[in-house]
Amino acid sequence: MAYVNGAADHGSASAIVIPAAVSTPQAQSKSVEEMEKVRARLAEPFDPAEIKWRVTATTTTQTKRGPQKRGQLVAYTDQRAYTDRLNDVFGEWGWTRTYNVQVAQNFERRSGGDRNQTAVSAKVVVVSTVTVHGLGSHTGVGEEWADDENAATRAEAQAFKRACACFGLGRYLYDLDKVWVDLNQYNRPVQTPPLPDWARPARSAGSVAAAAQPRQGLVREETLAKVNELCESAGFGLSQWVLRTYGGTTDPAKIGFAKLTSVMERLTDILNGIVRLRRAVERIGSDRHTQICRELKLASDSIDDIPDRNALRALLTRVEAAASESDPNGASAQGGIAEARGHLLHAARTAAAKRPEGTTRSLGDIIAEASEGEWTLDSLTRLTESDVAKVVAITDRIAAL
């Protein structure tokens, strides 16, 4: 016998051993047994904490409370989960992967700034080959539009996971039903769909899920510590609102890992808004800030007394508007319109890169959302020096999306 990774003393402790050659009926029988173990461990569902959901379609329905946006969700998981499973089954030296990256030119697509127009663009096409020593190889293809600054990374992940699916790894995700759920104002699902029993891993001591528990527990503790740190920085009112809205409880320790990650992302967004608020307050002074807080009927001008995200958004809008009125040319110190426009486009690309895998969110969509429909991608070329302050404000708003 030979270990798949080629080193019996250095491979994964749980790596499966496959006979290097089959010459007798007894060896043939054992080979079949080993192959069945490989198939079972590759087909084992991922831990539910690894599963994520992306919105692939939306619709609006009428309810007693008025229009309600709903989205169709599809399950997926990060490529790291695939890599971890291959390492668990075959050992780090028992498999390899390669990538062949090409750029295909002259594809016609709808323009991001105007959906009624088309533009010619290129695509990044990646072919990934996954080879398991002693078993064979499979390939998968991934593609992304080249104007996405993370196109190669996304296409590589897509190609790698498709190649793994040919071995049976993660293949069950294709069999999960697409589900429709309510979406919040940010087009995010308000609840995570439950997984059927057959899409959950066996909880035996020797299962992949059980072996992954210590690592997942460590990650959860690190995430919990980060959430507690963010709550301190976000203030009492906003942190409590985030915990209730996205975690279902005001005690971070009682929140499951999947929701805890969402809470951490929301708190990070809140802190981006607070940074913008403090920057604008420095420009208008504490007295004007206090006056605006009173006009908005906030309990005080303290961060702790901002009750929710809507209140933060309203306060931020008023304070930034006051800052622009008191110092209309203040943003000029940050550079002219060309530099301000460059910062705006960079922020929009960064926001687009954060979109869930498989969804589309163009630069034009992000700019239109942040400017409340006032600007499109094409209209940026017509801005003048008098628009610098507004460009800076919109850039800060995009950073908080």
Rounded CA separation 285/276 (Å): 14
- 25 assigned to some structural domain: no
Both 169 and 269 in one domain: the answer is no
- 332 assigned to some structural domain: yes
What is the token pair recorded at 243? 């915990």
Residue 331's pLDDT is 43
Rounded CA separation 300/290 (Å): 7
Rounded CA separation 253/228 (Å): 9
pLDDT tens over the chain, length 401 residues: 333 333 333 344 445 444 433 334 444 444 777 788 888 889 899 988 888 888 888 888 877 777 888 888 989 998 899 999 998 888 888 899 999 988 877 667 765 555 566 777 788 899 999 999 888 899 999 998 887 778 888 889 999 999 999 999 999 998 888 888 888 887 888 888 888 888 888 754 344 444 444 445 557 788 888 899 999 989 999 999 999 998 888 888 888 777 888 888 889 888 888 988 888 898 899 999 999 999 999 999 999 999 998 899 889 888 888 887 766 544 433 446 777 777 788 778 777 776 665 556 677 888 888 888 888 877 877 777 777 778 878 887 887 66
Both 292 and 382 in one domain: the answer is yes
Both 225 and 366 in one domain: the answer is yes
Both 137 and 268 in one domain: the answer is no
Rounded CA separation 196/144 (Å): 31
Residue 101 belongs to domain with CATH number: 3.30.390.80
Short-list 12, 43, 87, CA closest to 201 = 43
DSSP string, 291-329: HHHHHTT-S-SSGGG--SHHHHHHHHHHHHHHHHHH-TT
Beta carbons of 164 and 77 less than 8 angstroms apart = no
Both 243 and 373 in one domain: the answer is yes
Number of folded domains that form the chain: 2
In degrees, to the nearest 5, what angle opens at C-alpha 369 toward C-alphas 365 and 372?
A: 135
Beta carbons of 113 and 376 less than 8 angstroms apart = yes
Both 145 and 261 in one domain: the answer is no
- 273 assigned to some structural domain: yes
- 27 assigned to some structural domain: no
Both 117 and 222 in one domain: the answer is no
Beta carbons of 298 and 257 less than 8 angstroms apart = no
Q: Which of 201, 227, 262 finishes a domain?
A: 201
Q: Which of 170, 201, 232 finishes a domain?
A: 201
What are the strands of the beta sheet with 51-63, ordered from one edge? 51-63, 66-77, 179-182
- 47 assigned to some structural domain: yes
- 345 assigned to some structural domain: yes
Both 75 and 176 in one domain: the answer is yes
In the Cβ-directed half-sphere of 31, how many Cα atoms lie within 13 Å? Answer: 14
Both 61 and 193 in one domain: the answer is yes
- 195 assigned to some structural domain: yes
Which range of residues forms the domain containing residue 58?
Answer: 41-201
DSSP string, 129-166: EEEETTTEEEEEEEEEETTSTTHHHHHHHHHHHHHHHH
Both 197 and 273 in one domain: the answer is no
Both 195 and 59 in one domain: the answer is yes
Q: Which of 201, 233, 259 finishes a domain?
A: 201
Residue 306's pLDDT is 94
Both 221 and 197 in one domain: the answer is no
- 380 assigned to some structural domain: yes
Beta carbons of 363 and 377 less than 8 angstroms apart = yes
The per-type count for the chain, helices as H runs and strands as E runs, is 11, 8
